[in-house]
Amino acid sequence: MNKQPNKPSRNRNFEFSVENLSRAVFVVNKHAKSATDPKFLYTLKKQALEKMLDEGKAEKVGLHFSRNPKLSKQTSSVLISCGEFLFHTPPTKQDFQTLPHLGDLNDQQRNPKTQVSLKQAKSLLLAYTGMKEPQPTNPYSQKTKPYLSPYAKRFGER
């Protein structure tokens, strides 16, 4: 009766396999592109990919030209292969010296679709990297006392 035997269950505890980690990085990266404050998500992606590179679960393939260069200058990004997924990260000076340049991005290579929620992906990557999620701040809370005119008197001080 089950039509999709490969579909992961929603309540499964993830293990730190290459497939699970690469799916989680993909989901975090996809959500970071449209997030209002993507800094934490991109940092999580970077830390996870660096740890996977150190452990041999991912490898740097080469350099690609960026599709949208900043300030009309040609820039490159590092292509990282992780299981069946491909990711781009900013290059270091050492990357320019050691990695081959692959030219323009190849539109034929696409990452596979995944069925992982952002919450599951973040919890997996947070556990894998050891990072802690920043506590959300309330923009409406008053951090300082409201301004009180020196001429104003409080109730009962008259």
Summarised one tens digit per residue, pLDDT across range 98-153 is 888 887 877 667 878 888 888 999 999 999 988 888 877 766 665 666 666 777 76
| DSSP H/E element including 23 | helix 18-32
- Collapsing DSSP states into helix, strand and coil, what is residue 20? helix
Backbone angles phi, psi at 122, to 5 degrees: -65, -45
With DSSP H G I counted as helix, E B as strand and the rest as coil, what are the percentages for the chain, rounded to 5?
A: 35, 15, 55
Tokens for 154?
């409080």
Mean per-residue pLDDT for 59-74?
Answer: 77
Q: Which pLDDT score, from 0 to 100, does residue 10 have?
A: 43
Q: Which pLDDT score, from 0 to 100, does residue 51 have?
A: 93
Summarised one tens digit per residue, pLDDT across range 6-57 is 444 444 456 888 888 999 999 999 998 888 888 899 999 999 999 999 999 9
Question: What contacts 96, CB < 8 A, 6 or more positions away?
Answer: 63, 76
User: For the CA atoms of the chain, what is the radius of gyration?
Assistant: 22
d(CA 58, CA 91): 16
d(CA 158, CA 155): 7
pTM for the model: 0.71
The fraction of the chain above a pLDDT of 70, given in percent, is: 74
